[in-house]
Amino acid sequence: MAVESLEDKINQAGGALRMLRSAHAGAHPFPIPPQFTTWQDEQKSWHETAVVFEMRHMTDVYFEGPDVRRLLSDVAVNSFAAFGPMKAKQLVVANDAGQYVGDAILFGLGEEKVTLVGGPAAANWVCFQAERGGYDVAITRDENALVTKGERLVFRYQVQGPRALDIVTAAHGAPLPRIKFFNIGAFDIAGTPVHALNHTMVGIPGQETTGLEIFGPVESGPRVLEALLAAGEQYGLRQGGAIAYSTTALESGWLGLVVPGIYAGGATKAYREWLPAKGFEAGVSLGGSFASDDIDDYVPTPYDLGYANIVKFDHDFIGADALRRIKAEPHRRKVWLRWNREDVTRLLGDTLYAPEQARPRYLEIPYAVYATYQYDAIMYAGRVVGISNRTGYTVNVGAWSSLCMIDEELAVDGTEVTVVWGDPQGARLRPAVESPHALREIRAVVSTRPLV
């Protein structure tokens, strides 16, 4: 049969879980050089001086028209009571059952114009709802460089770290306008008008303002980057590559690459039929030791992801009734795990030297995620109590760590759990996963706060 939609591809694969488990995609790629110096040096810079990342992997989708605010209010769990031009927020969308669908950063560019920036999952959902609901909204897509082969409408640079504002001020050549956290300011760099969002993606403790996301017309990007690098030389600015960038979430705690609630059920069938067979949602993969025959066991709610403070019931939105009910029920909580040093050292050695049948799944340094959606089982007292998601090493933490969702009663500092490392299903279905390999149990300790 002709495979034209995500729904067609799921049916052809024999179900959503088999489609995701057998997909060849690895960790989400970043279309920038792997390293400019070393990944260790680049990690250290966002903690001690500053780093600049080029954000070509982001998808920008613009919504403009008189119904923009109504559309956003109808589809997002967020409150829009205080939202407007030159403001931003982390927009979160859910399905009718209250399951997470996606999140992205929403930029208020005007009274009737916004853009969603991030992975395409949230923006795709909003586009679908806009078309289906007949909202008076025009949509313009600026796809990421992986899709467009480098052609973009806008450049984006993240300047992050304790010297970030000093560097941007020097590049501007005068004091910067005061930009409150998660607000947008306007100024110029090297004669080019730019906008900047005040936010952090590395989460340095004790500092609310750690950097700016600077954006403007793509043709001005090289000139702006040159000015930033020149201004940053005296402050120890480093240019960050893909290896270091992949580890930033280990410190900031963004747990965004999880299975969305779109792959099964009648309520989202029309959406699956709308999504293309070669789009983002159809090309992602699922890996890790956690195994269930029910895809709903992989899908979190916004509460599981740490978004309880974002869900606001001051408006009606898709999933509101379900989230009101779920709020009072037990759920999981986002925490950090610090992996046991001896167990990690033994695992690394055994990937090289153990006999083949006892050899574990390779732990790639510094970022060991090998699927779009990484789901490793967390065990406590012989039962599965959560999933470990992003996993890797940063020099700032000085240890192997991961982000996870864990049963709420165990989300207590110092709780000792076990992470199961390996992927027996992937070994059968994906050529990129070693076959055979042995599962390994790695001890880990829960932290409810960032490890840096």
pTM for this one?
A: 0.95
Residue 256 is assigned to a structural domain of this protein: no
Is 4 contained in some domain?
Answer: no
69-104 core/surface letters (b: 16 or more CB in 10 A; e: else): bbbbbbbbbbbbeebeebbbbbbbbbbebbbbbbbb
CATH number reported for the structural domain that contains residue 367 in this entry: 2.40.30.110
Are 343 and 231 in a shared domain?
no
Query: 404 and 389 in contact (C-beta within 8 Å)?
Result: yes
d(CA 328, CA 311): 13
Whose structure tokens read 């057998």? 22
Q: Which residue has the tokens 């967390």?
A: 378
Is 219 inside a domain boundary?
A: yes
> 48 with 165, same domain?
yes
Structure token digits, residue 344: 């990690």
Kindly give the residue spans of alpha helices, DSSP state H, lying in 265-383. Answer: 269-274, 280-283, 320-327, 341-353
Domain that holds residue 234: 39-57+150-240
**Of 240, 262, 287, which marks where a domain is finished?**
240
| End-of-domain residue from the set 240, 272, 291 | 240
- Rounded to 5 degrees, φ, ψ at 46 are -75, -10
User: Which DSSP string corresponds to 407-424?
Assistant: EGGG-STT-EEEEEE--H
Domain count, the chain: 2
Structure tokens at 276: 């293309």
Domain assignment of residue 21, yes or no: no
- 229 and 348 belong to one structural domain: no
Q: Judge whether 2 lies within some domain.
A: no
Nearest to 242 by CA among 336, 151, 146, 161: 146
pLDDT in tens, the chain (452 residues): 577 999 999 999 999 999 999 999 988 889 999 999 999 999 999 999 999 999 999 999 999 999 999 999 999 999 999 999 999 999 999 999 999 999 999 999 999 999 999 999 999 999 999 999 999 999 999 998 888 776 889 999 999 999 999 999 999 999 999 999 999 999 999 999 999 999 876 654 344 557 899 999 999 999 999 999 999 999 999 999 999 999 999 999 998 799 999 999 999 999 999 999 999 999 999 999 999 999 999 999 999 999 999 999 999 999 999 999 999 999 999 999 999 999 999 999 999 999 988 999 999 999 999 999 999 999 999 999 999 999 999 999 999 999 999 999 999 999 999 999 999 988 888 888 988 899 999 999 999 999 98
DSSP 158: E
CA-based nearest residue to 214, from 177, 184, 256, 252: 184
**Final residue before a domain boundary, out of 182, 216, 240:** 240
Strand partners, 363: none
